[in-house]
Amino acid sequence: MSRLTLTGISKRYADFAAVDNIDLELQSGEFVSLLGPSGCGKTTTLRMIAGFVDPTSGTIEVDGELLSSPKGSIPPDRRQMSMIFQSYAVWPNMTVEQNVAFGLELRKLGKSEIKRRVGEMLEIVHMSHLADRYPSELSGGQQQRVSLARAIVIRPSILLLDEPLSNLDAALREEMRFEIRRLHDEFHITTVYVTHDQAEAMVTSDRIAVMNHGRIEQIDDPRTLYDRPKTRFVAGFIGRTNFIEGDNDGHRISFDGFALPCAAFDGILSSQRKTVFSVRPHSMWLSETQPTTPGICPPVEVLVLERAFLGEHWDYVVKPRAGATTLRVATSPVNDIAVGASAWLQLEPHQMALIG
């Protein structure tokens, strides 16, 4: 268990910045995901932490000890870390047991000690009964468990995972997410987890760093990230959302076709005139009749343009009677309003995130 600090880390290939000035600090035992679209520099960052790639600038430290800097780096084999690869990289020439024992052998533990720890570890990942199998005789999920066991059994200071679930089918992926979190709760190893699947990041992580074009756009716990995205990119990348632009005159914010009082926003507003909010489809309410109990904000009369029934909820596309901006709203499955009908939309300022 160690504290990991990345300071001003960049990696350039020719004049292209794959990773661009990243600062990141993981507390001891923390689980942080790097989440972002393909090519945003997640793998490069992870491989710099592992020591396979040297940064062009910046430093990487573990517990205050300098591991990487442009001047030179400690090689991967001396970092006491573990890594789980996209392809699992389980060695097909060794049995499950031999795979897991490899790292312990390198640490020159006694034979009986190795046997004991490998046995315990296989127990934990539910693979004891397959200890003598070769990897080619295992399913994808089982191979993944072997690679988890192999990485964790040495009690690494840092555990690195690069899209470990992307080669599995959907059901297994869901199961393994919880498995990874369970193992983390058991061992509390400081972990960096790379993925481009937001659900995966939200299930597993203490905090998520959303990356774009080689930079970290925002780093927060999953709840904050979802409720209070700080940039348009983050809001759009995590879950579905509506972007609405408004004009702030100090008393009211005028949107296209409706307006909300500034007082309702509890001082999150800045002094700038132009404002952009992200509003989640689930954080608005739609009703067929005009609500009798007035909320903080007056309801907006809207026209229903499209709708789709998705089982767990209705998906509506509406637009204010007095405007042209379309909004997506999700409502409970019993809330059945016909296309072309009028309805009232209730916005909740607490659930609107200011992103610019």
Ligand X SMILES: Nc1ncnc2c1ncn2[C@@H]1O[C@H](COP(=O)(O)OP(=O)(O)OP(=O)(O)O)[C@@H](O)[C@H]1O
Residues at the site binding Mg ion, with contacts judged by CB under 5 A:
43
CB of 319 to ligand X, least distance (A): 36
Selected from 40, 216, 329, 337, the binder of ligand X by CB under 6 A is 40
Selected from 56, 85, 325, 351, the binder of another protein by CB under 8 A is 85
38 binds ligand X (CB under 6 A): yes
191 binds ligand X (CB under 6 A): no
35 binds ligand X (CB under 6 A): no
Residue 327: which of 258, 281, 288 has the closest Cα? 281
What strands lie across the sheet with 258-261, from one edge to the other?
258-261, 252-255, 242-248, 274-279, 352-354
89 binds another protein (CB under 8 A): yes
State both tokens at 253: 């914010």
150 binds ligand X (CB under 6 A): no
Selected from 150, 173, 177, 196, the binder of ligand X by CB under 6 A is 196
Instruction: Output b/e per residue, 13-51; b: 16+ Cβ within 10 A.
Output: eeeebbbbebebebeeebbbbbbbeeebbbbbbbbbbbb
82 binds another protein (CB under 8 A): yes
Cite the DSSP H helix spans in the chain: 42-50, 96-106, 111-124, 140-152, 170-187, 198-204, 222-227, 232-237
* CA dist., res. 121 & res. 115, Å (int): 10
13 binds ligand X (CB under 6 A): yes
CB of 6 to another protein, least distance (A): 17
CB of 332 to ligand X, least distance (A): 36
CB neighbours (10 Å) of residue 277? 24
Closer residue to ligand X in complex, CB, 4/329: 4
162 binds another protein (CB under 8 A): yes
Report what 101 binds from Mg ion, another protein, ligand X, none; CB cut-off 5-8 Å by kind.
none
Closer residue to another protein in complex, CB, 93/272: 93
215 binds ligand X (CB under 6 A): no
Residue 171: which of 147, 139, 193 has the closest Cα? 139
Report what 137 binds from ligand X, Mg ion, another protein, none; CB cut-off 5-8 Å by kind.
another protein
* CA dist., res. 238 & res. 343, Å (int): 28
Is residue 126 within 8 Å of residue 157, measured between CB atoms? no
CB of 295 to Mg ion, least distance (A): 45
106 binds another protein (CB under 8 A): yes
Report what 291 binds from another protein, Mg ion, ligand X, none; CB cut-off 5-8 Å by kind.
none
154 binds another protein (CB under 8 A): yes
Give the total residue count for the chain: 356
Is residue 31 within 8 Å of residue 193, measured between CB atoms? yes
CB of 194 to another protein, least distance (A): 12
Report what 272 binds from another protein, Mg ion, ligand X, none; CB cut-off 5-8 Å by kind.
none
Cite the DSSP H helix spans in 12-110: 42-50, 96-106
Residue 100: which of 38, 50, 55, 149 has the closest Cα? 149
Binding region for another protein (CB under 8 A) out of 17-25, 71-79, 183-191, 238-246: 71-79
The CA R_g of the chain, rounded to the nearest whole Å, is 25
Residues that bind another protein (CB under 8 A): 50-52, 75-83, 85-87, 89-94, 102-103, 106-107, 134-137, 147, 150, 154, 160, 162-163, 166-167
